[in-house]
Amino acid sequence: RADPRVVVMEGVNARHLEALPEPLDGVVMDVSFISSTLILPNLPRLIRPGGRALVLVKPQFELEPGSHAGVVRDEAQRRRALERVKAAAREAGFRVLGEAESPLPGREGNREFWLYLERPPAGVS
């Protein structure tokens, strides 16, 4: 936060973010009470070609309402949530560079994932 290159955007509805003063080199995304799939389509216009995004995937917000009781305990559902976000990232034009299970559980005990994405450099798809 002390580095002038860091832009903290807490409290901003990223679905409606149109532009920034300059394209970003990287983004860390941690959203709650909304699916990451609703934000991902907007990210490419904010990130420079070759830029990266680190996205925290919270399965409880990626699955259909009523398909779980708050904490997603079923491994197949957790994987389905992750695959849904990966598909949305690819559809938005990102390459999935990696994924990892977060070593820290969410507040209610949900096991979350990190996705490492790249907006491909110009001329690369």
Domains of the chain, with CATH numbers?
Answer: 22-118 (3.40.50.150)
Beta-carbon contacts of residue 106 (< 8 Å; ≥ 6 apart): 58, 60, 112
Tens digits of per-residue pLDDT, 35-51?
999 999 999 989 999 99
Neighbours of 47 (CB within 10 A): 21
Answer for the pair 104, 33: CB distance below 8 angstroms, yes or no: no
pLDDT of residue 68: 64
* Lowest-confidence region among 20-24, 36-40, 109-113: 20-24
* Lowest-confidence region among 38-47, 68-77, 90-99, 116-125: 68-77
Beta-carbon contacts of residue 18 (< 8 Å; ≥ 6 apart): 45
pLDDT of residue 66: 66
Tell me the pTM.
Answer: 0.86
Which is higher by pLDDT, 8 or 101? 101
Mean pLDDT, the chain, whole residue set: 88
